[in-house]
Structure formats: structure tokens, C-alpha cells
Amino acid sequence: MTHTPITVARGNGIGPEIMAATLDILEAAGARLEIDEIEIGEEIYKRGCMTGIEDSAWVTLRKNKVFLKAPVFTPMGGGFKSLNVTVRKTLGLYANVRPCRAFHPFIQTHHPEMNLVIVRENEEDLYGGVEYKYTPHVTESIKLISRTGSERIARYAFEYARANGRKKVTCMVKDNIMKISDGLFYEVFQDIATDYPEIENERYIVDIGAARVASNPALFDVIVTQNLYGDIISDIAAEVSGSVGLGISANIGDEFAMFEAMHGTAPDIAGQGIANPSGLILSAIMMLVHIGQGDIAEKVHNAWLKTIENGIHTGDLYTQGLSRKNVGTREFKEAVIARMGQKPENLKPVSYEAEKGALIMPPLKARDEFERILVGTDIYIYTKEQDVQALAEGVLPHIVEGLDLSMISNRGVKMWPGHKPESFCSEMWRLRLQGDVSSSVVAQQISALTAAGFDIVKTHNLYTYDGELGFSKAQGE
Ligand code: NAD
């Protein structure tokens, strides 16, 4: 039988301990793997590499296409980039799949019926890392949501549901507030849902949705959501299911895939031999299914379930009365290996198709064409002026022909004309200028205000699409 090449990184903190246990289990199960190791994280940052990963490691990752990764340490501040985000974005790993279930009555949980999967969009949203400080005291992070990104993740969620016998996909958004960005995400979700009539679909506003995941997770089957919401919801779900040590994550792209535990490097217990390797073991099981070794995945998964139901638990899971033996990482691994070929008797055994492999995604839908018309510009200026009437009177003589000053706002709230909220104003003001104009008029307007001494920190063009506004109104407008 052919062996599948994979890349392995042992990571930092508890990473080397849990990776050693996982690789021993894979070997004992007869996984057909050809392993290339790379070094990433702490030592690489120390060598002055700001991304924590060197060029030679990228060559290996691109060659092997499948990556089993232990947690890595990301230094705080100092311009260091998160290695995880860099890998996900560089390799186009757009879908982050996080199954989360209870193992009642063997692991303590308030939610015995819990068995959900979070499909988190992995490349867009606030994780673009596009941030600005426009004035000494006003900052901004860009939340970017694209039609293609939304379509790929919605499609992945429904394809995953279909392939895994799941019955419902829930979309979690905040489109009552972010009508344009979250509105697009939900609109695309609804459109894709029509291709899967046998799967129920529903929408939750993310705040109440997250609360329900905490209070009644059995309500959910597959949850599809954006990057930041997915990050928060999956930590809630992992915590509610019993332990962060059980959280697992598959990061899937068209060509590449990365599998990792959800938790971090656990520096508080590193080197003590007590870390729970289960998150990485269960992630490796998803990897085996992905590369078409469902037979091995089934063997490892059932041996792991049997170990859990036999009450052999690491310290993070150990509960008096439920657990039989409190073991370290190595003993836990040995217990799983000793049960290879066995099936659990109380927990439901798993079965995977031997050679099914990765999900095959249908092509993207054809895009509608829209008539896009420029209807003005928002110009943001930095000024310590707090009297909005005086600001308006200073700006009005410099408005060019074809544009009208329709509004001045501060922190998203209309301040002029005729609206006086009680809240404070920052030193960044937005001038909304509207009119049927060309981009050269917008350029003239920027020049005119600059020549008049206004400090412009950014501009946004305003468009309509088939007559619909492509920009939000200010609160109070
Ligand atoms: P953490 O997940 O490392 O630890 C949180 C708590 O959970 C700690 O008390 C820890 O002991 C416990 N814990 C975590 N995994 C466990 C396991 N397998 N078995 C038993 N107990 C476990 O989170 P943190 O402390 O916020 O982060 C520490 C470091 O990890 C940071 O440098 C962070 O950047 C990094 N991190 C990496 C990843 C990744 O590589 N995917 C993810 C998250 C955090």
C-alpha cells in the first residue's frame, strides 16, 4: 500500500509530549504515513524570523500538502505575526472544522446530548489583520467579508453535513447590526442552502446563538459562522463539552490541509508529562479520514473511545466517581495502544469508509453582474475642533461643484445637521459628500480640502449597486 507524505511539527510547550504520544499511536495502528518534520514557533522567532516559520518549512508544507501540527507559542506584541493565522492564510485553509461532543457518562458534562460541529470561516473577517491608527487616539480594524469567501464556507458546511449524515446547518451572524457584511454572509448562506433541500437550515443572531451553545448545545448540529464568532463559539463549545484538552480542529483548503488540537502550548504544565494528548489524537483521526485512511482512523478512534469509557483519564478530565485511573501522557498513550482493534461497549463505536478521503467541493456559482454607480465619498478628517457647526462652516466653502455636504458624523453617529447626541466626540470626523460624480471630482474634492488645511486621514467612495446603497447610513441619519 502507498504511504501518504505528511508534514509534522512538534511545536512548543506541551507540543512535543502530545505529538510523541500521537505519532506512537498512529504507528501502532499501522497508519501509512511518510513523515517529514519541520521546526516552527519559539526557536524560529528567537532567530529573528517574525513569522515563526522559515522558507525551507514552506517548501516541505507545499510538497506534502497535509500538515499535523502541535501547538506553538506566539510572542505577544513586538510585531510578531501569529503563525497559525499565517499558515491558514498562506495555504488557503478557508474552512476550520471543529467537532465538539460530550462523552457522557464517562467525562463530566452538563450536556450529555451535545454533538455539534462548528464550521468556521478561516481567512476573512477581522483576521485580515488590517488595522490602522488614524489619529493618536482613534483606531480601526477592517472586517472584510467577500461573496466568494462566504460561498465557500457555506458550501463546505452543507457538504460536510451531507457527507456526515448531519441534519441541520445553523448560520450565526449579526446582520441586524452589520447589515452589509453579515447581511452578505447570510444572503449567500440562504442561496447555497437551496442546493441541499434535505438539510434543515436556520439562522441565529450570534449573541443569543452563543448563549444557547453554552446553555443548550444539543439544539445544534452543524454551525457555520464567520472567523471571530467561530473562534469564540468553538471555545465555548469545547469548554461546555468537558475540557479544552478535547478540542480539535481541521483546517481545510482546496489543495492543503492542517490538523491541530484547539488548545495552546499550556506552559503551566509543559514538561510534566501530564498533558492530555486527546485533542491532537482526535485531530490526527480527522487527518486519516482526509487522506483516505478511514480504516486506520476507525481503529484509532474506537481504541480511544474504549480508553475513555474504561475511565483511564488524564488529570484535566479526571473526576472522582467517573474516572478509574489518573494517568500521564505516556500511560494514556499506552492504554490507547493496548486497546487497538477493540470497540467501545457503551459509547457508540465509529465507522469510517476505508478510502473516502477529502470532501470534493462543487465549483463556485456564476456571479450576478451589478450596475455600480459612484454617488459620493466619505472623507475622514483629524481635527481637535469639537464644535460641529464651526466645523461645517469651515468645510462648506471648500465643497467642489457636483458634491453636497449631506452629513457630518462622529463614531458612526450623525452630528450635523440638526442632531445632537449626548455622547462624546473623537478627533476623527466623517464628512459625507454626495452627488452624481466621477472619481476625478472626488479627487478634486480631496485636493480642495487638503489645500484648505484639513488633515484627511482616509476616504471611502460611496456606490450604489442596481440602485441599492452599498454603504451604511449613520445612526440618527
Ligand atoms: P492554553 O490552551 O495553552 O492553556 C489554557 C489552559 O488549559 C491551561 O491551564 C492549560 O494547562 C490547559 N490545557 C491546555 N491544553 C491542555 C491539554 N492538552 N491537557 C491538559 N490541560 C491543557 O492557552 P493559553 O495559556 O492561552 O496559551 C498559551 C500559549 O499557547 C500562547 O503562547 C498562545 O499563543 C499559544 N496558543 C497556540 C495555539 C496553537 O498553536 N494552535 C492555540 C492557542 C494558543
Q: What is the pLDDT along the chain (477 residues), one digit of tens a residue?
A: 789 999 999 999 999 999 999 999 999 999 999 999 999 988 888 888 888 899 999 999 999 999 999 999 888 776 777 788 889 889 999 999 999 999 989 988 889 999 999 999 999 999 888 999 999 999 999 999 999 999 999 999 999 999 999 999 999 999 999 999 999 999 999 999 999 999 999 999 999 999 999 999 999 999 999 999 999 999 899 888 877 778 899 999 999 999 999 889 999 999 999 999 999 999 999 999 999 999 999 999 999 999 999 999 999 988 888 899 999 999 999 999 999 999 999 999 999 987 788 888 999 998 888 999 999 999 999 999 999 999 999 999 999 999 999 999 999 999 999 867 788 899 999 999 999 889 999 999 999 999 999 999 999 999 999 999 999 998 877
Q: What are phi and psi of 430, to 5 degrees?
A: -110, 125
Whether ligand 1 lies within 6 angstroms of the CB of 260 is answered as: yes
Which residue puts its alpha carbon closest to atom 42 of ligand 1? 264
Measure the CA–CA gap between 475 and 419, rounded to whole angstroms: 10
For the chain, list the domains and their CATH numbers: 1-109+242-354 (3.40.718.10), 372-469 (3.30.70.1570)
Amino acid 54 reads E
Query: Which is the closest atom of ligand 1 to the Cα of 279?
Result: 18
Whether ligand 1 lies within 6 angstroms of the CB of 70 is answered as: no
Measure the CA–CA gap between 118 and 453, rounded to whole angstroms: 51
Which residue puts its alpha carbon closest to atom 31 of ligand 1? 73
> DSSP states of 352-389 as a string?
--TT--SPPPPPPPPPPP--EEEEEEEEEEE-----HH
pTM: 0.92
Tell how far the Cα of 270 is from the centroid of ligand 1, in angstroms. Answer: 10
Q: What are phi and psi of 10, to 5 degrees?
A: -80, -15
Task: Give the pLDDT confidence score for residue 185 in this predicted structure.
Answer: 98
- Determine how many CB atoms are found less than 10 A away from the CB of residue 130: 11
Whether ligand 1 lies within 6 angstroms of the CB of 244 is answered as: yes
Beta bridge partners of 169: 201, 222
Which residue puts its alpha carbon closest to atom 13 of ligand 1? 266
Q: Hunting for cell 469509557 — which residue is that?
A: 309
Three cell numbers at 410? 462622529
Residues 238, 239, 240: CA angle, nearest 5 degrees: 95
Whether ligand 1 lies within 6 angstroms of the CB of 388 is answered as: no
Tell how far the Cα of 13 is from the centroid of ligand 1, in angstroms. Answer: 9
